[in-house]
Amino acid sequence: MFDKANILVTGGTGSFGKRFIKTVLESFNPQRLIVFSRDELKQSEMQTEFPETKYPAMRYFIGDIRDESRMTMAMRNVDFVIHAAALKQVPAAEYNPFECVKTNIQGAENVVNAAIQCGVKKVIALSTDKAANPINLYGATKLASDKIFVAGNNLSGTNGTRFSVVRYGNVIGSRGSVIPYWQKLIAEGSTTLPITNPKMTRFWITLDQGVQFVINSIEQAVGGEIFIPKLPSAKIVDIAKALLPNCKLETIGIRPGEKLHEVMVTIDDARLTKEFEDYYIIEPAFAFWTENSYTGGKGGKPVADDFEYKSETNSQRLSPEQLQQFLVSS
């Protein structure tokens, strides 16, 4: 699908963006692969890792998704857009709400407008489990972003750009997550690891799994879906003990805006949710979507009206052995 295609990745210097670009370069033969981000240092570092002399498809475009005109310029002749740029640190969003709104909501609007104006074929926007029943500002802005991308299909018309969303849980080892912080403490000789709450659970996914799910989703997307992978859950305590089996745990309390457990499909979304072998989709409640838009011939089945996909009650749990494998593969 990506062979001879022009692909743009917003937030292309982030954890996901770098791994996605590496995967595409290894598996496909794109015509252009554009890194769009605002950090010139990270772009310079990526140019060392993926030089244009060795990877002639690579392009590096400095810009901010808050700037619609720059976004539109970057998307000229682009076929596919992977929207990974976001302000995602929950406490930072609580203390800097307007900045989070500008990037995550207004930035989403700019991506939609630029994609339609430039005739992009498909856009996949990365979301988060925190967008389901959000209690923090980050989750609320990502819920608004999801709504903007789904509604973008109304704006683009029947033969225009198709917009879809991918929602998944915590990425093991991603920049800014707790695991690299714990690993740093362990490397410094600490025998005590801080945890927020011993009951806390999360959905977990590796970076490679996330990248592959996005690639699969953009291949299958017809526009308007929210794709949700079936993921294992684990307690934060179990992750800490997998990293340092005999560690002492110091409970420091839940940070501003954090949930005790995460949800990826709410009960209110159950009536719009279809289940497939290894993922769910939440269908859009718009007239352009018909019963056969996605599920026709593909085996999707409706979930129960009281279905809820929650990390606390998820039947798929990571065993200690699986946790070790997860951490190694991350």
36-59 burial code (b ≥16 CB/10 A, e <16)? bbbeeebbeebeeebeeeeeebbb
pLDDT in tens, 134-182: 999 999 999 999 999 999 999 998 779 999 999 999 888 677 678 888 9
If one counts every other C-beta atom within 10 angstroms of the C-beta of residue 184, the result is: 10
pTM score of the predicted model: 0.94
| 143 neighbors 100 (Cβ within 8 angstroms) | no
Active site residues: 130
What are the φ/ψ torsions at residue 265 (nearest 5 degrees)? -130, 120
Instruction: State pLDDT tens for residues 237-273.
Output: 998 988 888 899 999 998 888 899 999 999 999 999 9
Q: Measure the CA–CA gap between 215 and 217, rounded to whole angstroms.
A: 5
Contact 174, 88 (CB under 8 A): no
Q: Give CA–CA dist 46/105, Å, rounded.
A: 27
The phi and psi torsions of 209 (rounded to 5 degrees) equal: -65, -40
| Residues constituting the chain | 330
Question: Average pLDDT for residues 82-109, to the nearest whole number?
Answer: 96
Q: Which residue has the higher pLDDT, 148 or 319?
A: 148
pLDDT at 291 over 90: no
| Sheet with strand 162-166: strands edge to edge | 58-62, 32-37, 6-10, 80-83, 122-126, 162-166, 226-229, 279-282, 273-275, 301-302
CATH superfamily of 6-169+205-230+264-308: NAD(P)-binding Rossmann-like Domain (3.40.50.720)
Written as six digits, the tokens of 230 are 């079936």
